[in-house]
Amino acid sequence: MRCCLPAPLAALPDPCEVLRAGALLALRAASAAAHRTRPHSSHVAVVNLELVTLTEDRAVITWFTGIPGTDDGLGHMLPALTDGEVVYGTHPGRLNRVAGEHRPTAHHHVELTGLEPGQTYYYQARSRGVAATPTALHFARGNAAGTSLHGFGSRGGPYAFTTPQPPPGRHLLSIALCNDLHLGETTAGLVTGIPLFRGVSQRPGLAPYPEVMGLALVEEARRRGADLLLAAGDISAGGAPEDLAHARRILDGFGEHGQDYFVVRGNHDRPGPEHGESGDAFRRGFAGDGGPGYFGHDVGGLRILGLDTYEKRGNGADSGGLGEEQLSWFRRRLQENRDQPTVVFGHHPLTVRDSVFPVAAGQRLNRRQARSILKAYAAAPGVFLHHAGHTHRNKRTILSRAPHVTLQEVSAVKEYPGGFTLLRIFSGGYALNFYKVRGAEALEWGERSRRLAGGLWPHHALGRSVTDRNSVATHDFSGVTRPAAAMAGSGARGTAVLPGQRSAPD
């Protein structure tokens, strides 16, 4: 099986970076060994606290409870079923509000609602009276539990977050952004030749984890009010027809392909070396009669451009690439109406910044093409968002060449933290909010798979700050109208635009 981790982990390019990664792994291994042998004074360990989602009026907080001193064979505690609650308030000494769970669990997921925009809240998550401690992101110099360092240095907080102001104007529509489902994969994080990257598999007797997470994605996206869904590549683990067909059946649970949801190719979706063009199962399944894997779509004045960032023959570990025909089409589409609000999505990011792991060419788009796209963005003020996957992490990047465009990498559906980003568009701006998928099996697998990369995976995948997975920006969407079908609650409807065609004016 090809490696499902980002390409640089499979092709460590620089000896210094290899030594750096090895040092991090050694530190992590020593920490894990100490954890397994250290006596615990409490009956339950309450760990891995994360402020996952933060909007203007709600917050989603997760944590794990385990049995101290136990080991499931992967360096992780066995789960302890407990109660869970979050106490919170607007003063650290008065946590006078409580949000709890309906039943005991080891994988806690509590949502605070009715929060006020622009307000600082202090909170503490508890199970059996024991306060939860945050996921440690010290290798990434990150903060998993709040928007400030309040509470750090103590054991259990309280920690603090400040809710953002909502985007200006009225809500128009919401779009679920996701990637890296990897249908057909059986071992997550397997890297040949690196013993500590031995991978994590599903527990015997349970459904394959890509299926569990894919089904949970569809359910959670609909629960969160998504009108459209954009899947940015690596739908399958290796481009096998049966895996792509399975992915299609799962995504069809959200709605109709080409109308309610849209898919672009990732490097894992390429045809295998034993297949020619006629064996391109991705194009047959998602591009319609073997057409191009890139497209334009218009929804009430919002332009959606999908890119095939692996439109080439290659081994899958090399950089992404657009054919010259696609690149010319893309630049032409942007020039047609430079001010039209536009979201672009494709599998490979344009650039990769601030990575814990070594960065090789295979983790991003071809540099020359990335510069060409950024140049096109600089001349197209309507473009506001470029959504990418491939890195399996949450990361928000703003570049000086096109500061009006948010480059948003979204973590994989198929493994920790396991979820999607909800893009909420308002008449005067937009919000990006990451949600973990729910359901008992999905939350269990999400916790199990946090042990990828020798336990370093949270430092890479979660996002070093809350703003890497939750942000608000202003943008003029005054020309966008809310689709009638979305107002009726049955999903947005738009007009598909084939390459080379112009969308009809609203």
- Name residue, tokens 């973990």: 436
Predicted confidence (pLDDT) at residue 273 exceeds the cutoff of 60: yes
Q: Does the pLDDT value for residue 11 go beyond 70?
A: no
pLDDT band at 313 (very low <50, low <70, confident <90, very high): confident
Peptide bond between residue 417 and the one before it cis (omega within 30 degrees of 0): yes
Residue 500: is its pLDDT beyond 90? Answer: no
* Summary mean pLDDT of the chain: 88
Kindly report, residue by residue over 354-404, the tens digit of the pLDDT. Answer: 999 988 899 999 999 999 999 999 999 999 999 999 999 999 999 999 999
134: pLDDT strictly greater than 50:
yes
Quick one: how far is CA 283 from the chain centroid? 24
499 DSSP assignment? T
Mean pLDDT of the region 294-299: 95
DSSP 19: H
Which among 150, 159, 128 is positioned nearest to 49, based on CA atoms? 159
Question: With 80 as the cut, is the pLDDT of residue 26 above it?
Answer: no
Mean pLDDT of 461-475: 98
- Range in 239-253, 285-299, 316-330 with the lowest mean pLDDT: 285-299
Q: Averaged over 285-296, what is the pLDDT?
A: 84
Q: Are strands 342-345 and 302-306 parallel, antiparallel or unpaired?
A: parallel
What is the β-pairing status of strands 171-178 and 228-232?
parallel
Residue 79 phi, psi (nearest 5) = -70, 145
pLDDT at residue 15, rounded to an integer = 40
What is the CA angle 218-483-500, rounded to 5? 90
pLDDT band at 288 (very low <50, low <70, confident <90, very high): confident
pTM of the predicted model over 0.85: yes
Quickly count: other Cβ atoms within 10 Å of residue 34's Cβ: 9
Tell me the sheet residues that pair with 261: 229, 257
**Is 28 in contact with 20 (CB distance < 8 Å)?**
no
Q: What percent helix, strand, coil does the chain show, rounded to 5?
A: 25, 25, 50
Give percent of the chain with pLDDT exceeding 70. Answer: 84
pLDDT for the residue 489: 54
Q: Mean pLDDT over residues 411-416, rounded? A: 98
pLDDT of residue 315: 85
pLDDT level of residue 274 (50, 70, 90 thresholds): low
**According to the model, what pLDDT value does residue 487 have?**
56
Q: Which residue has the tokens 């071809």?
A: 366
CB atoms near residue 158 (< 10 Å) = 22
Beta-carbon count within 10 A of 482 CB: 17
Buried b (16+ CB within 10 A) or exposed e, 438-468: bbebbbbbbbbbbbbbbbbbbbbbbbbbbeb
User: pLDDT tens across 141-175, in order?
Assistant: 999 999 999 999 888 899 999 999 999 999 999 99
